[in-house]
């Protein structure tokens, strides 16, 4: 009984297996046939793994269809490739993305700051960051996917001129930093808009459209422009507006920019330039004296270039030219008052009425023939009175004079400054040949360099005096017609060389010290005025040696020239003259002895020889 029960349990436990095998044989008739024909081969090739796992054999065709469906509908999450997903839900902090994996992925909304318009259904590129976190969640990254694709997209946008979106992150020196495809690109301030931007901070945090204008692959730099997007439209708009313009047409515009050379005016889509010279009939230093930013004003079209889309505007042309409003009774000789507006080297421009200027040449500022700079007489902003010298209404030119308001000092020059009279003057200027001295305003005289001193040898007047010094002068010559005055300074004293001519006459002897040894001789100073030259051979002393610097000796004047102030002295002539005197005295003495003692000629010669030997130290 027990054995029957055991056999029954064994049959029941094996029943499913038998049924399963039978079922498999039923599903696979070729295998049943093979089992029946060759049982050993069937058992050898039988897939016991599938049998134990309960896996039914599948037809190869059905298996290929299944693999194809998996490939089309599911993502291999092991590959680090960028895939495209779909936004299926947006929460307060995250975006839920379906990438056809077994679960949806999550991306923080911070990664979509550049795209505030993100919505459900949008396709986004993502990279699988974490395949499965602790909660089994698929973690994706849009930022990393953008970085991988960024350079590819940036290069494509640059090459094809595509428009891209960018998020303005912050302001930097000279422009803005823009996030484009996850890359930090530079937006120059000049490329933000066609209009000058005054407030850069207003663009921070905005998403704008840009064009990629430059890429530096070596340094990974990208430059974008928003201005480039609208320039093409603006150029077309400019051409259309310029095509409707006419010279002389008056339009209303808004001051867009002010520069040192002019003002740019927006005429409603096209800009024109009002040059500084066309802003006002009067002279101005800067355009901001006339206009201010955003000011609306009427301007007239002076000229335009359709090819270059340039428009030249004028503001002053809307008012009457000041010369046309000038008093018709104004004539040459009349006195006018005005303000100094410009000073040049050759003169000063005086505004006698708004927009009407006259030139005062520097020669008309003073009666002096020695011309100076206009700045010596007037300064910008000075109010001056002048006389009209010439007036040309047709050419709109006027010349003025200041000196004509005072009497000409040369009218009574002969009575005020007769030849030989002494005066005081101020040194105004130097030349290589003399000094100009001003006796009074309009009266200048020249002192030639040779008339500065009787005794000093002067190479340049600056060695003798300085500009601004006061000098005593004597009038030497007066040319009224030529308005020339010749002066002298040394003539205020008598010529000391007249006295020196007698004191240092040729043949006189004086004691002095060798001051300097020079080429071909030496110099000695007899006094502060007279320096004499001693030739080399005249430095010889009585014993045959030469005088040296610092030695004191007697010198005989052998040349004195008062005109050229030349004095030549000799030491040798002193002791040679003494020798000659001794010889003459000895000869006289010998002759006297000869007459009294009948001395022979031989005795006389012997005495002379003895005297000579004594003098020579023998």
pLDDT in tens, 310-330: 788 988 888 887 787 777 888
Instruction: Indicate the helix (H) or strand (E) that contains 211.
Output: strand 207-216
In angstroms, rounded to a whole number, what is the distance separating the alpha carbons of residues 477 and 484?
A: 8
Q: Are 127 and 144 in contact (CB under 8 A)?
A: yes
430: its two tokens? 């130097």
In angstroms, rounded to a whole number, what is the distance separating the alpha carbons of residues 323 and 309?
A: 33
For residue 69, list its beta bridge partners. none
End-to-end C-alpha distance for the chain, whole angstroms: 187
425: its two tokens? 């003057």
Q: Are 552 and 526 in contact (CB under 8 A)?
A: no
Q: Are 71 and 99 in contact (CB under 8 A)?
A: no
pLDDT band at 127; cut points 50, 70, 90: confident
| 3-state DSSP assignment of residue 469 | coil
For 419-477, the pLDDT digits (tens) are: 889 998 889 888 888 999 888 877 888 999 888 887 777 888 888 889 888 889 999 98
In angstroms, rounded to a whole number, what is the distance separating the alpha carbons of residues 341 and 353?
A: 12
Q: Are 86 and 97 in contact (CB under 8 A)?
A: yes
Q: What is the pLDDT of residue 13?
A: 43
27: its two tokens? 């599903």
Q: What is the pLDDT of residue 186?
A: 92
Nearest to 227 by CA among 269, 190, 193: 193
In angstroms, rounded to a whole number, what is the distance separating the alpha carbons of residues 267 and 469?
A: 64
For residue 209, list its beta bridge partners. 165
For residue 94, list its beta bridge partners. 108
Nearest to 445 by CA among 366, 370, 363, 376: 370
Any idea what DSSP says for residue 190? Answer: G
Q: What is the pLDDT of residue 14?
A: 43
Backbone angles phi, psi at 160, to 5 degrees: -100, 0
6-15, 115-124, 144-153, 524-533: segment of lowest average pLDDT: 6-15
Nearest to 266 by CA among 255, 250, 278, 251: 255
Q: What is the pLDDT of residue 400?
A: 92
Residue 554 buriedness (CB in 10 A; 0-12 / 13-18 / 19+): middle
Q: What is the pLDDT of residue 16?
A: 43
| 3-state DSSP assignment of residue 316 | helix
Handedness of CA 344, 347, 352, 355 (dihedral sign): negative
229: its two tokens? 């997007």
pTM summary value: 0.40
Q: What is the pLDDT of residue 6?
A: 42
Cα torsion 199, 204, 205, 206 to 10°: value is 60
pLDDT band at 592; cut points 50, 70, 90: low
In angstroms, rounded to a whole number, what is the distance separating the alpha carbons of residues 611 and 583?
A: 8
pLDDT band at 2; cut points 50, 70, 90: very low
Q: 412-448 burial string, b = 16+ CB within 10 Å, else e?
A: ebeeebeeeeebebebbbbeeebbbbbbeebbbbbbb
Residue 338 buriedness (CB in 10 A; 0-12 / 13-18 / 19+): buried
Percent of the chain with pLDDT over 90: 5
């Amino acid at each position: 009984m027990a054995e029957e029960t055991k056999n029954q349990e064994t049959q029941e436990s094996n029943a499913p297996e038998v049924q399963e095998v039978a079922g498999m044989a039923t599903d696979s008739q070729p295998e049943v046939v093979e089992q029946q024909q060759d049982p050993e081969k069937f058992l050898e090739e039988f897939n016991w793994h599938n049998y134990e796992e309960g896996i039914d054999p599948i037809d190869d065709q059905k298996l290929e269809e299944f693999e194809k469906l998996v490939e089309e509908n599911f993502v291999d999450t092991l590959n680090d490739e960028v895939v495209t997903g779909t936004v299926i839900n947006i929460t307060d902090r995250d975006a839920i993305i379906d990438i056809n994996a077994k679960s949806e992925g999550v991306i923080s909304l911070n990664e979509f700051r550049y795209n505030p318009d993100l919505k459900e259904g949008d396709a986004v590129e993502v990279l699988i960051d974490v395949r499965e976190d602790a909660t089994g969640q698929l973690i994706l990254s849009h930022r990393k996917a953008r970085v991988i694709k960024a350079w590819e997209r940036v290069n494509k946008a640059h090459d094809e001129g595509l428009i891209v979106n960018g998020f303005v992150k912050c302001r930097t020196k000279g422009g803005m930093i823009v996030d484009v495809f996850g890359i930090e690109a530079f937006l120059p301030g000049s490329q933000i808009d066609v209009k000058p931007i005054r407030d850069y901070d207003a663009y921070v945090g905005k998403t704008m459209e840009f064009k990629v204008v430059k890429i530096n692959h070596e340094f990974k730099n990208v430059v974008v422009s928003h201005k480039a997007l609208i320039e093409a439209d603006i150029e077309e708009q400019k051409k259309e507006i310029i095509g409707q313009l006419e010279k002389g047409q008056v339009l209303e515009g808004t001051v867009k920019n002010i520069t040192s050379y002019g003002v740019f005016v927006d005429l409603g889509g096209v800009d024109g330039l009002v040059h500084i010279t066309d802003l006002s009939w009067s002279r101005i230093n800067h355009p901001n004296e006339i206009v201010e930013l955003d000011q609306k004003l009427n301007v007239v079209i002076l000229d335009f270039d359709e090819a270059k889309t340039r428009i030249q505007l004028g503001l002053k042309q809307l008012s009457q030219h000041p010369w046309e409003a000038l008093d018709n009774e104004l004539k040459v000789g009349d006195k006018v008052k005005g303000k100094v507006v410009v000073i040049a080297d050759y003169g000063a421009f005086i505004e006698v009425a708004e927009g009407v200027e006259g030139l005062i040449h520097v020669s008309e500022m003073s009666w002096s023939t020695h011309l100076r700079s206009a700045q010596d007489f007037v300064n910008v902003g000075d109010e001056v009175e002048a006389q009209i010298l010439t007036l040309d209404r047709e050419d709109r030119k006027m010349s003025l004079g200041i000196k004509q308001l005072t009497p000409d000092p040369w009218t009574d020059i002969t009575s005020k400054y007769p030849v030989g009279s002494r005066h005081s003057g101020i040194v105004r200027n130097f030349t290589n040949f003399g000094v100009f001295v001003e006796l009074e305003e309009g009266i200048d005289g020249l002192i030639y360099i040779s008339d500065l001193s009787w005794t000093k040898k002067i190479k340049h007047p600056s060695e003798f005096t300085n500009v601004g010094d006061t000098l005593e002068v004597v009038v030497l010559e007066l040319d009224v017609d030529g308005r020339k005055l010749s002066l002298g300074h040394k003539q205020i004293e008598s010529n000391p060389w007249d006295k020196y001519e007698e004191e240092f006459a040729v043949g006189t002897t004086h004691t002095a010290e060798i001051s300097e040894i020079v080429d071909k001789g030496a110099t000695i100073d007899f006094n502060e005025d007279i320096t004499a030259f001693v030739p080399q051979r005249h430095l010889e002393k009585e014993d045959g040696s030469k005088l040296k610097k610092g030695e004191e000796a007697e010198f005989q004047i052998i040349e004195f020239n008062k005109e050229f102030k030349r004095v030549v002295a000799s030491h040798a002539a002193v002791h040679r003259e003494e020798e000659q005197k001794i010889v003459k005295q000895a000869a006289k003495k010998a002759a006297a002895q000869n007459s009294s003692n009948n001395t022979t000629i031989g005795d006389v010669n012997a005495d002379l020889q003895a005297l000579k030997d004594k003098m020579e130290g023998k």
